[in-house]
Structure 1
C-alpha cells in the first residue's frame, strides 16, 4: 500500500520512486544557526527555536507542540545537524510537520488508511513451510492477534500464502472507530508505524502499550529475520532497514509520550 503521509507531505500522490530520486538530487541546505532551544509559549505549547527564532514547518506554520518531551526531541534533531541540514535524519521533525500542516484537515483519510492496513494485515498471512518459520510466526504473532481480537471484539481470518482474505466488516469498523478520537500527532505517528511495519495491528499494540518498540519491530520482521539466519544479510537491505527503524522509533516515542508513558 502507498504511504499516504508521504503523499500528503509532498502535496500530491506523486510516484514515490520519482519523489525519492528528486530528493536524492536536491542540495541540502546549510546549517545557519548555532543554538537550539525549546520555549514555552503563553498558549502552553512548546516551540522549537533556532538562535531565538521560531522554527516553521514546511507549510509555514509554527513548529510548536503540547508535549514538551517531543519538542525537546525535535530540538535534539536540529542540534545534531552538521554543516548541512538533512531531513532524512530528522524523523520527529518530519512527523510533527505533517501532523501540524496536513493531518488536521485529512484526519479521516489517514485513519481510513490505517484501517485499510488492518483489513490486509501482515499478521494474517502465514507460511506453509518450513515448520521452524511456521512455529516462529505462531509464537510471535499469535499473542498479538489474540490481544487484538479481545480488544476489538472479533475473530480474524488467517491464510497460508499470499492469497488475500476478507475480514469481518464489523470488526474492521470497530478498529476504525477506535482511531476517531486520536489527535493529529499520535494519528500521524500511528500511520508511520503502520506503514513501516506493514501491520496496523502491531502499530495499535504499540500505541496501546501492549508491545514495546523493540517487540513490535521484531514482530514485523519475523520472515526477513528467518531468511537472514539461513541465507545471510544484504548490506543495502540492512542499511534501508536501519533507516526505517530510526523513523519507527520516532513514531514509537510520539505514541508513548502522547499516551502518557514517557520515553520508551
Structure 2
C-alpha cells in the first residue's frame, strides 16, 4: 500500500525530475492517428483509433466521470508528435496514477492530506526577519481564519520547527472535510498537498475558501521572500513553473469533480 501512495505522490514531480529520467530512455513512437472521446453509461473514455486508452502498468480501462477531464486528456494524446512523451501529459499521468492505485487506497490518500494538515506549512512560522514574519502572518493567518470559521476549529501555530500538536478535535473535523471524496479527487488533493506542502491549503481549495492563485501564493511566501532578497535563480524558476503545471492540472481535477 505504501508503494502505491508513494507513486501517487511521485506523479507531482514528473514534470521535472521524472522528465530527466525520460530523457535517458527511448520514448515510444506514436502508434495512432485519431484521438476521440467516447461516451457510455459509465462515463467518458479517450480512444486511440477507436480503442479505449488503458493504464500503462496494469492495463486497466479508464472511464472518467466528467467530460472536461476526458477532453483534456484527449488533447494531451492528440498533441503528441512522432514520439509519446509522458512528461508533457500531466493529466494523463495523474489519472493513470489514480486508476492504478485502486479504490483501496482511498483511506491512505485521505490520511496523507490529514498528516500534512497536522504538521502544516501554515502552522510553523519564522521568528525573523520581520518582513517575512509579517508576510506569513498576513497571508497564512488569513487562510487559517477562513478554515477555522468554515469547520469550527482552532489552530495552534508555533515559531520554529519544534513539533506543535494540533487539537484532536481540529484534526477530526478536518478529516471529516474529506468525507465523500473519491479516488480521483483524493489523488489530485494528495498532489496539491505535496506540491504546496500544505494539507490545509488543499482543503481550502477543495471547499472554495481560496482560489488556485491564492493557494499558490500562500504556498510560496517563504520562497518569494528569498527571491526578493537574492533575486531569481533560473533553474529554480524553471522547476517552479513545471510544478505550477502539475498544480493546475490537479486543481482542474478537483474543480471538475466538486
TM-score, normalised to structure 1, is 0.88
User: Structure 1 113/73 Cα, relative in aligned 2: closer, same or farther at 3 Å?
Assistant: same
Is residue 155 of structure 2 the alignment partner of residue 144 of structure 1? no
- Deviation string 1:55-82 (CA, Å, 9 cap, x unpaired) is 1012211122011001101111111222
1:57 to 55, 61, 75: 55
Whole-Å Cα distance in 1 between the matches of residues 195 and 64 of structure 2? Answer: 24
Matched-pair contact (CA < 8 Å) for 1:3–1:195: no
- Deviation string 1:149-178 (CA, Å, 9 cap, x unpaired) is 122322111111222211112211221122
Equivalent residues in 2 for 1:35-184 (5 A)? 35-41=34-40, 43-58=41-56, 59-184=58-183
Matched-pair contact (CA < 8 Å) for 1:5–1:191: no
- Deviation string 1:77-108 (CA, Å, 9 cap, x unpaired) is 11122222121221111111122221411110
Structure with bigger RCO (C-alpha 8 Å, 6+ apart): 2
Name whichever of 48-57 and 95-104 sits farther off: 95-104
- Deviation string 1:166-197 (CA, Å, 9 cap, x unpaired) is 11122112211222311111111111111100
Structure 2: which 5+ runs fail to align? Answer: 11-16
- Aligned position for 2:197: 198
Whole-Å Cα distance in 2 between the matches of residues 103 and 229 of structure 1? Answer: 43
Is residue 187 of structure 2 the alignment partner of residue 188 of structure 1? yes
TM-score, normalised to structure 2, is 0.90
Matched-pair contact (CA < 8 Å) for 1:137–1:222: yes
User: Structure 1 243/60 Cα, relative in aligned 2: closer, same or farther at 3 Å?
Assistant: same
Whole-Å Cα distance in 2 between the matches of residues 4 and 57 of structure 1? Answer: 14
Whole-Å Cα distance in 1 between the matches of residues 100 and 196 of structure 2? Answer: 24
User: Structure 1 73/6 Cα, relative in aligned 2: closer, same or farther at 3 Å?
Assistant: farther
User: Structure 1 249/60 Cα, relative in aligned 2: closer, same or farther at 3 Å?
Assistant: same
Whole-Å Cα distance in 2 between the matches of residues 30 and 153 of structure 1? Answer: 53
Equivalent residues in 2 for 1:245-260 (5 A)? 245-259=244-258
Whole-Å Cα distance in 2 between the matches of residues 49 and 147 of structure 1? Answer: 42
Whole-Å Cα distance in 1 between the matches of residues 215 and 177 of structure 2? Answer: 20
RMSD: 2.2
- Deviation string 1:111-146 (CA, Å, 9 cap, x unpaired) is 111100000100011111122111111111111101
Displacement of 1:22 in angstroms is: 5.4
Displacement of 1:24 in angstroms is: 5.0
**Alignment coverage as a number of residue pairs:** 250
Whole-Å Cα distance in 2 between the matches of residues 21 and 230 of structure 1? Answer: 30
